[in-house]
């Protein structure tokens, strides 16, 4: 029998904390019974939730701490002001100490990234981390990164994101050579900022056997599935994914209002409710919850802070899959095998210079 996947949870993270984290983890456990949990946070709150989930209780160990990182704390504050005893820090530290295989938190993104980077360090050859998210499209799921880890980035950083994102897509999407596009304001070669155009030229010149660069992708092309991997820096990536999530909720609201407007529309809904149910599930941002911190020497998954239990369960699922598919090792191998990936980046950069 395969070794169980050990998941460390920041039970106090997010807008609500244990009342979402524990039920969410319990939902994920029904899908992945080969899971064990380390739960960090206020033991009274955690135990109160576990009492309603005996199966979850049987595979969990609770580690008490009354220190929690606020959603409003600055990353520097979270690192300095006694936060090394926080539920967030302890969950990450469990990965560092090999007591857990992955840490999952719905807490403060900046603090989680700062603590993860400080505690786990970066993989060899990676200077800056990225948050990669799965996103449903008309052609299936795609990977988009960076969706908020770091702001800005030069051409070399964008090319590194392309390599990491393609490695993630090849494993999670089962695609041998994923297509990669750079998010831009147009598909024409002369459009966009200088670093984006330079990154495009580097990707065209580089000999990357693990990805197929297709050029620029506009914002509307993300949902259309124009590329298996969409690469951008953290600011625009975060804006893009939040606009997409907001649009999904807006469309769901429009549909509900339209279907309840008249007797005819209500009858029409009764006949088509199966199709509308499928559409609702497709548009639900919670089903795409769980951003993976790529580039770290350890696996950390960030859940939306305001998600519900079902949404948090999807983030736990992502963490489970990252471990079970040994994605960290495969990304590391892709980036560093024979020095090919970074050798190609350097060679392409010299050709552009």
**116 and 147 assigned to the same domain:** no
Band (338; pLDDT cuts 50, 70, 90): very low
**83 and 230 assigned to the same domain:** no
What does the pLDDT average to over 49-76?
Answer: 91
**188 and 271 assigned to the same domain:** yes
The answer to whether residue 197 is domain-embedded is: yes
**100 and 203 assigned to the same domain:** no
The answer to whether residue 305 is domain-embedded is: no
**42 and 148 assigned to the same domain:** no
**183 and 83 assigned to the same domain:** no
Of 70, 75, 13, 20, the closest CA to residue 40 belongs to 13
Kindly give, in sequence order, each residue whose CB lies less than 8 Å from that of residue 260, ignoring residues fewer than 6 positions away: 266, 269
**pLDDT attached to residue 81:** 64
Helix axes 309-324, 327-336, angle to 10 degrees: 50
**CATH code at position 20:** 3.40.718.10
**116 and 146 assigned to the same domain:** no
Is 2's pLDDT higher than 70?
A: no
**138 and 67 assigned to the same domain:** no
Domains held by the chain: number: 2
C-alpha 214/C-alpha 227 separation (Å) is 8
What does the pLDDT average to over 109-120?
Answer: 90
Band (116; pLDDT cuts 50, 70, 90): very high
Examine the fold and report which residue of 100, 120, 140 is the final residue of a domain before the chain moves on. 120
The domain containing residue 107 runs over which residues?
1-120
**103 and 172 assigned to the same domain:** no
Q: What is the pTM of this model?
A: 0.82
């Amino acid at each position: 029998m395969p070794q169980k996947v050990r998941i460390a949870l920041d039970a106090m993270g997010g807008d609500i904390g244990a009342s979402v984290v524990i039920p969410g983890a319990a939902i994920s456990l029904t899908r992945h019974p080969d899971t064990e949990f380390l739960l960090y946070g206020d033991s009274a709150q955690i135990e109160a939730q576990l009492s309603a989930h005996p199966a979850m209780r049987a595979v969990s160990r609770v580690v008490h701490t009354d220190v929690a990182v606020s959603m409003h704390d600055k990353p520097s504050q979270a690192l300095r002001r006694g936060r090394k005893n926080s539920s967030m820090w302890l969950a990450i530290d469990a990965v560092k100490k090999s007591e857990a295989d992955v840490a999952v938190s719905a807490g403060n993104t900046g603090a989680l990234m700062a603590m993860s980077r400080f505690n786990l360090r970066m993989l060899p050859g990676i200077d800056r981390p990225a948050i990669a998210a799965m996103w449903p499209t008309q052609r299936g799921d795609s990977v988009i990164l960076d969706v908020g880890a770091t702001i800005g980035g030069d051409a070399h950083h964008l090319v590194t994101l392309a390599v990491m994102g393609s490695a993630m897509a090849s494993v999670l999407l089962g695609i041998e050579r994923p297509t990669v596009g750079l998010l831009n304001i147009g598909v024409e070669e002369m459009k966009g900022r200088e670093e984006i155009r330079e990154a495009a030229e580097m990707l065209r010149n580089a000999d990357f056997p693990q990805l197929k660069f297709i050029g620029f992708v506009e914002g509307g092309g993300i949902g259309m599935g124009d590329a298996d991997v969409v690469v951008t820096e953290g600011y625009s990536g975060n804006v893009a994914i939040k606009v997409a999530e907001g649009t999904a909720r807006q469309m769901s609201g429009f549909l509900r209002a339209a279907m309840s407007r008249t007797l005819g529309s209500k009858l029409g809904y009764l006949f088509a409710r199966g199709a509308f149910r499928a559409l609702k599930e497709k548009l639900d941002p919670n089903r795409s919850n769980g951003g993976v911190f790529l580039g770290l020497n350890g696996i950390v998954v960030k859940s939306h802070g305001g998600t519900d239990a079902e949404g948090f369960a999807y983030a736990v699922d992502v963490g489970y899959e990252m471990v079970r598919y040994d994605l960290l090792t495969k990304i590391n191998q892709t980036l560093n095998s024979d020095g090919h990936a970074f050798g190609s980046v350097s060679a392409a950069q010299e050709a552009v210079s």
